[in-house]
Amino acid sequence: MRTRAAHLLISLAAVALVAGTPSAATAQASGAVDVGALFREVLANPTDVQANLRYARAVEARGEGRKALMAYERILSVEPGHVAARTGLARLTGGAPAARTEFLVGLGFQYESNPRLLDTEFSRSADVAALATLRIEDERLVDDRRWRSRLNIQGRLYSAFADGTVGYAGADTGPVLSLGDLGEMRVLAGGEHARLKSSPLFSAIYGGAEVAFRDLGPLRGLDALVSYADFSERFPGRDGFLFRVRPQLSWTGLATTGDRLTVEPELSYNAAVGEDHRYRYWSVGAVAFYAAPLLDDVPLFAQIYGGPEAGIEYRSYAGRAPGEDDDRRDWRFVPGVRLVGTQFLDQDVSAVLRYTLDRNRSNETAKEYTNHTVSLMFYRRF
């Protein structure tokens, strides 16, 4: 929650690894179901209910019940009342909602031109870092109620910039409540801890709600969270509450079959105390990613898709640094491009190649920076 890198990696993994399906009609016409084509069709549009339903029925017929369960669950995350998906789940689980535990492992590396975020475009501090992520999601019945729990662990180890080495772990749990035709809501509570160069950075507790909507046009979800962080004594003045609201919007079929535009606006307020409220701020911004199928059946991959992405944020602080005349105000713009390759070497592995240009402009000159980042990650779901 406090580390934007953790959020980006989680959202990236979710887009890259949701199972998929393309043109089933041709295969069915020939009398054989091409499960690989169905899988790629879902990859092209993971929220397509009919594509997921075709894939679920195909793998269920082949005796691959776990894959079918995951596809039925994806359908119900979009349309909680979908009769065929609920029937499929009941058929595979004997009438009880499926208990599931999914593991997502990611490994890779990244190059940064300015990892120290100094106020120069190309400093001599360029470095390479190893990246690792582990995410576990578990869902099961607890006292006749669906209960979903998540664990997220992230790590970044630099080659030379030892002070920038970061470790992060967060976990939360809570019930999933039906909102009828509106969708469903997960109420959650959790905690997180981060370390910087093996020393504590912060610890935090948080709670809130995640809503998945049904039939509300492009509005697919809404997160509302509040957290309280206790920072290390090395970082005074940063302790306090953080409030955040973030809707999720999505459009498909804008320019070509299987494309998707996701936009996540965000409004947050950090009520940090101490240091004359120097680190207290409110911010507004958004991240967006447009993805479209680019190549099918290429060497090493079943499909490659991707497109441009961008992030923008305005942050207004309630205090100023010593010697400054005005309260600090930052403008941050992060354009980039992302490519995703699926089924690497015919395995359930996705590769994500990403470039971003992170530019921060501020009325406090020392807070300005430019950082070019290139990363390559490989994700595997178990």
CATH of the domain at 88: 1.25.40.10
CB 50 within 8 A of CB 84: no
The answer to the question of residue 1 being in a domain is no
Q: Which is more confident, 205 or 88?
A: 205
Q: Give the Cα separation of 247 and 77 in Å (integer).
A: 16
228-249 per-position pLDDT tens digit: 999 999 888 899 999 999 999 9
Burial 139-173 (b: 16+ CB within 10 A, else e): beeeeeebbbbbbbebbbbbeebeebbbbbbbebb
157-208 per-position pLDDT tens digit: 999 998 899 999 999 999 989 888 888 899 999 999 999 988 999 999 999 9
- Single residue among 78, 93, 108 that ends a domain in this structure: 93
204/335 same-domain check = yes
Closest by CA to 220, choosing from 234, 205, 210, is: 210
The answer to the question of residue 12 being in a domain is no
177/57 same-domain check = no
200/162 same-domain check = yes
Q: Which is more confident, 82 or 104?
A: 104
Mean pLDDT of 119-131: 78
Q: Is the pLDDT of residue 30 over 80?
A: no
Identify the burial level of 228 via C-beta atoms within 10 angstroms of its C-beta, where 0-12 means exposed, 13-18 middle and 19 or more buried: middle
Residue type, 201: L
- DSSP bridge pairs for 107: 132, 378
The answer to the question of residue 19 being in a domain is no
Q: Is the pLDDT of residue 7 over 60?
A: no
**pLDDT of 33:** 63
Q: Which residue has the tokens 């669950």?
A: 73
The answer to the question of residue 9 being in a domain is no
Instruction: Give the three-class secondary structure for 69.
Output: helix
The answer to the question of residue 294 being in a domain is yes
Range of 52's domain?
24-93
pTM above 0.85, yes or no: no
Mean pLDDT of 273-295: 90
Residue type, 86: R
Counting the structural domains of the chain, the total is 2
**pLDDT of 28:** 38
- Single residue among 93, 118, 142 that ends a domain in this structure: 93
Residue 210: C-alpha distances to residues 46, 139, 182 (Å): 19, 15, 13
